[in-house]
Amino acid sequence: MGECFNGDPAYVGPYQGSLTALFNYPMYYTIADVFGAHKSMYGIRNRYNAEGQHFSDIDALGVFVDNHDNARFLNRYSNNTTGLRQAEIFALTSRGIPFTYYGTEQYYAGGNDPKNRESLW
């Protein structure tokens, strides 16, 4: 699973020529906007439309809400557990390969690295 930490599908898309599977960072930002910042669900439709122009296989992209490189969702969105649950359901059921970073299911809310790498127990 490749990683290109950028929210622009035009920038990230060409990497799929060398790496079949990539983390879908453009969708990561859209998930945060929609479920964390309460922006319009049209953002998801618009993101898929934009990605269709730049990725050869959207279904081979990893969809995620949190990961080990960024502050966790609950840190960025004031402990919005409802938004986190909605975002996780979206990630698990949307196009792509779902990835859930450990601790998200336990509502970890760590900040920037290394605070986002809390001990599991």
pLDDT digits (tens, 9 = 90+) for 7-59: 999 999 999 989 878 999 999 999 999 999 999 999 999 999 999 999 999 99
Domain-embedded: residue 120: no
pTM of the model: 0.93
Domain-embedded: residue 86: yes
d(CA 19, CA 46): 24
Q: In Å, how far from its chain's centre is CA 15?
A: 17
Domain-embedded: residue 93: yes
Residue 68: per-residue pLDDT: 84
Number of domains in the chain: 1
User: Structure tokens of 22?
Assistant: 């990539």
Range of the structural domain that residue 73 is part of:
21-106
Domain-embedded: residue 7: no
- Are the C-beta atoms of residues 47 and 30 closer than 8 Å to each other? yes
